[in-house]
Amino acid sequence: MAEVSFINPLSDEGRSIIREYGDLNQIFDVDESLIDICTHTLNQRISDDALIPKSYAELAMKRIQWAIEKKNNKNFTQAEFEYLANGDLFKQDVVTFHILCQAIAIQFNTGSRETRLFIESQGTLILERLAKIPPMARADIIDEVLDEIKTDGAIHWKSLRDIVASKKLKLTDLLIDDGDIILQQEDFLYRFGDEFTDRSPERMYNILIGDSVKEQIISRLIMQKTEEYINRIKEMSQRIEIHPAIIKIGEDLKEFIPEEISKYNQYYAGSGGIYGSVQAGKLNPDAFPPCIKATVEGVSSGGRNDAIVLLLTSFASYARLYPRIFASDETVKVSDMDPDLSITENEILPLIFDAADNCTPPLFDDQPQEKINIISKLGFGMHERVDINHEGETKWYTPMSCEKIKIYLPNLCHPDKSCKGINNPLSCYGRKKYQLDQEAPKE
């Protein structure tokens, strides 16, 4: 049977493994036991020696590579990472998990793309591991993990607000009594056993509470505890000296993650066709459609708010960072393309703020709160500045369609030949920028 720590590396068993591990300097050393377990994992692809991690440090990088490829690589091959689901690897896995938590905590912001990638991948890995455990053993391990996750002997429904909001679970899927989620049979029988007189309470438990619900809850709660753990490490790192091995892993991750992601996310505009594709890059004002040019030059009182906050903010941010949004089925955030937010702060926001100042009267003179609304439309919540730790509090709004511009900002809609056959100013920009790039003299 799989060990509890293989599902929950933050368990008492997991902490015991960490205490016994010893000197962190050895994480870069070749580990024959690790190699042997990985090599002899059932269904593991071993045609390429590079697929097998040789040290704990390499295993940490492979964990991150797996997360990136699983999310982005359409030709992802599970057999290349099958060892990650091998329960014999539980001790190495626990050590690697804690190494990654510490390295990520000291190297990245708590709300960064890199931190989100690791936390979300941990939840995915838990579900995949549970799925490979035989049903009877799985039920036992699930109950053991739930026993440790509980706070004060219970799991309150409010702790699952995020997973309910994500629509992976519905409140109607849960059995809730006095605010507590009932998941284990003994708890169910204690609370409701006397309520059933004409049918078996045990059978009703199996009908009302399924294993899939418990697995989703375990995955989500361990993700939350992982995030809390990373936050605690980040706070502690201000007061204690970090081991050089952890610092080295963090530095390696800073180079490795964007390099791996760049293999799959090219951020091209448009959907191809006769106009090809336009790569994200510096904004070209010459390619702006008429409505955007008019907005940048300044809007008179009446349409200022919608023109700056709704139209220009979304257009400028997507045109600069992710012009292919309408040709993609991805859900993206600003930091996915601008990890340190330097482009947002030094290129996008100045353009928007300058356009606001060009309005008659200047927008922020009488409506300074619109600066907060601009930050909100970029996905950083109702705050006065962009901050990675606030990202996700609101949605990164996509550009208004031409139809909506005609309805809500008719004074800005004066189509020219570049608008022909277009239904969104971002698409117009992509097509025109591509044409201008083709006409530019080759160096």
Separation CA 363–CA 45 (nearest Å): 60
Separation CA 16–CA 207 (nearest Å): 37
Q: What is the pLDDT of residue 173?
A: 63
Q: What is the pLDDT of residue 157?
A: 58
Q: Cβ distance 181 to 175 under 8 Å?
A: yes
Q: What is the pLDDT of residue 360?
A: 87
Tokens of 328: 């993609």
Q: What is the pLDDT of residue 152?
A: 43
> Which burial class, exposed, middle or buried, applies to 317 when counting CB atoms under 10 A from its CB (0-12, 13-18, 19+)?
buried
Tokens of 168: 């992976």
Q: What is the pLDDT of residue 101?
A: 97
Q: What is the pLDDT of residue 304?
A: 92
| DSSP state string for 50-107 | GGS--SHHHHHHHHHHHHHHHHH-TT--GGGGGGGG-GGGHHHHHHHHHHHHHHHHHH
The model scores a pTM over 0.75:
no
Q: What is the pLDDT of residue 265?
A: 53
Q: What is the pLDDT of residue 153?
A: 47
> Which burial class, exposed, middle or buried, applies to 122 when counting CB atoms under 10 A from its CB (0-12, 13-18, 19+)?
buried
Q: What is the pLDDT of residue 324?
A: 80
Q: pLDDT tens string for the chain (443 positions)?
A: 578 999 999 999 999 999 999 889 999 999 999 999 999 999 998 877 888 999 999 999 999 999 999 987 888 999 999 999 999 999 999 999 999 999 999 988 777 778 888 999 999 999 999 999 988 888 888 888 887 776 544 565 566 666 555 555 566 667 777 777 777 667 777 777 777 777 787 777 776 776 667 788 888 889 988 999 999 999 998 888 999 999 999 999 988 987 887 777 543 333 333 334 455 678 999 999 999 999 998 898 778 999 999 999 999 999 999 888 876 656 789 998 888 899 999 999 999 998 998 898 899 988 999 999 999 999 999 999 999 888 988 999 999 999 999 999 999 999 998 888 888 999 899 888 888 888 866 55
Q: Cβ distance 371 to 384 under 8 Å?
A: yes
Separation CA 10–CA 124 (nearest Å): 16
